[in-house]
Amino acid sequence: MLLINNQVVEKILDIRGCMEALETGYHDLIHERAVYRGRYDLFVPNDDPKLMYRWGTMEGASRSFETFAIRMKSDMLEWPEGKTVEKYCIEPGTFCGFVMVFSTRNGEPLAIINDGIIQHMRVGGCAGLGAKYLSREDSSVVGIFGSGGMARTYLLAFNEVRKIRKVKVFSPTKKNREVYAAEMSEKLGITVTPVDRTADAVRGSDIVATCTDSIQVVVDDPALIEPGMHLTCVKSNEWNPEIVKRSDLVVKMGRATMNLDVGQMRIGGEAAVVAGNAEEIKRIANPKVDIFSADFPLLTDIMSGKLKGRTDKNQVTFFANSGTQGLQFASTAGYVVREAKRRGLGQQIPTDWFLQDIRD
C-alpha cells in the first residue's frame, strides 16, 4: 500500500493529466461504468461559540481505473465578520484531508493520499471541462476572482483548453492579487494584471471565474455581463442568482446525492447534518444564495451529445461547478496511484495494517 504526500502528487498530477483522468471518469459515468456520492458534511458545535467542527466526505468509483476512492476531511470552522469561512485542523495553518483508494478488482487498499493538491486540481480540471464544452473557442481573456489554490488551477485549466493571452485578477487583498499575477504570468507566459475593482475583472472578459472563500455574493451586477461570456464558480453563493437566471445556457457538473430526511439540510450548497440544537445551528454562517440547488442540464449530457452546448457566439453560458465530487476523486486518485506505481513514487506501508481475520 502507498502513502502519497502532496509533494509526490505535485510531481505526478499536472492539469492535462488531471483533465484526461476526469474525462475518463465522466465517460465511465455516461456509459454506466461509474458511480458517485456528492459531498456530505457533518457539523458539531464547539464550546467556543465562534467555532464549529466539520467532517466532510465524498466517494465514487471508476471502472476504467478499477478504483473506489473516498475523500475525508476534518476542519475547525469560523466565519470572521460573517464574510468568509476560515478553517484549520489543530491550529491555523494546518489542515487534515486525505483520500483512501481501494481496488474494485479485489478490494485491496491501494493508497492514502494527502488531498491538498488533488482537491485543487480536480475542481480546476472540472472548470476546464466546463470551458472546453461551453466557452467560445476564440476565448482569450479571463477574469479571475480570488488568488488562492482554486484560482491557480482554474487558470491552468482554462489555458489548457483555450489560447489565453490576457488575465485580470481581483482579490480583496492587494498583496495577494499582486503575488498571484506575478506567479501565474511567469508560469504561463501570458499577461496577468491585478485590478482594483470587481467590475474591471468582469468587463471585456471572455471567461469569468469566481474562486473565493466568500460566503457573500461576489459578482452582483447583471449589467456587467456581456454577450458571449462564459461564467463559472467554485461556491454556490458567488453569483447573483439573477445573472444565472439571465444566462442563455446554464449547465451543472452533476447532481448532488441528497435525501431530505433524518435532519438533513443544505449548508453552503451541500448536504449536511448538525449535532446541535436550533440555537447552535444559527452559529453557522450559511450563505443566503444557493445557485446549486436548482435543477440544470448536466455537462455529461453535453459530453455525450444528448444535449447541445453553446450554439451561438453571443450566448452567455454559466457552468455551475458542483456535483459528482466523489467520482472526481476516484478518477484523479486512480490516475495518481497508477502513475505512482509506474514511477516508483510514494512510501510503501504494510497492507496488512489494514486487513483483519474477523468478518463483519
pTM of the complete model: 0.92
Q: Give yes or no: residues 226 and 131 share one domain.
A: yes
CATH of the domain at 72: 3.30.1780.10
Q: Give yes or no: residues 304 and 158 share one domain.
A: yes
Q: Is residue 266 part of a domain?
A: no
Angstrom distance (rounded) from CA 271 to CA 360: 29
Q: Give yes or no: residues 48 and 196 share one domain.
A: no
CATH of the domain at 174: 3.40.50.720
For the chain, what is the domain count? 2
Q: What is the pLDDT of residue 38?
A: 81
Q: What is the pLDDT of residue 257?
A: 58
Per the structure, the complete domain to which residue 300 belongs is given by 120-256+287-320
Q: Give yes or no: residues 138 and 113 share one domain.
A: no
Q: Give yes or no: residues 87 and 21 share one domain.
A: yes
Q: Is residue 270 part of a domain?
A: no
Q: Give yes or no: residues 234 and 130 share one domain.
A: yes
Averaged pLDDT in 10-residue chunks for the chain of 360 residues: 98 98 96 89 94 95 97 95 90 97 97 97 98 98 97 98 98 96 97 97 98 94 98 96 97 73 73 85 88 91 95 97 94 98 98 94
Q: Give yes or no: residues 27 and 88 share one domain.
A: yes
How buried is 7 (Cβ within 10 angstroms: 0-12 exposed, 13-18 middle, 19+ buried)? Answer: exposed
Q: Give yes or no: residues 69 and 134 share one domain.
A: no
3-class SS string, the chain: CEEECHHHHHHHCCHHHHHHHHHHHHHHHHCCCEEEEEEEEEEEECCCCCCEEEEEEEEEEECCCCEEEEEEEEEEEECHHHCECEEEECECCCCEEEEEEEECCCCCEEEEEECHHHHHHHHHHHHHHHHHHHCCCCCCEEEEECCCHHHHHHHHHHHHHCCCCEEEEECCCHHHHHHHHHHHHHHHCCEEEECCCHHHHHCCCCEEEECCCECCCCECCHHHCCCCCEEECCCCCCECHHHHHHCCEEEECCCCCCCCCCCCEEECCEEEEECCCHHHHCCCCCCCCCHHHCCCCEHHHHHCCCCCCCCCCCCCEEEECCCCHHHHHHHHHHHHHHHHHHHCCCEECCHHHHCCCCCC
Q: Is residue 263 part of a domain?
A: no
Q: Is residue 265 part of a domain?
A: no
Q: Output the nine-digit C-alpha cell for 244.
A: 444565472
Angstrom distance (rounded) from CA 41 to CA 44: 10
Q: Is residue 331 part of a domain?
A: yes
Q: Is residue 168 part of a domain?
A: yes
Q: Give yes or no: residues 163 and 229 share one domain.
A: yes
Q: Give yes or no: residues 124 and 184 share one domain.
A: yes
Which residues make Cβ contacts (< 8 Å) with residue 226, sequence separation at least 6?
203, 204, 316
Q: What is the pLDDT of residue 306?
A: 95
Q: Is residue 162 part of a domain?
A: yes
Q: Give yes or no: residues 167 and 300 share one domain.
A: yes
Q: What is the pLDDT of residue 261?
A: 52
Q: Is residue 187 part of a domain?
A: yes
Q: Give yes or no: residues 46 and 137 share one domain.
A: no
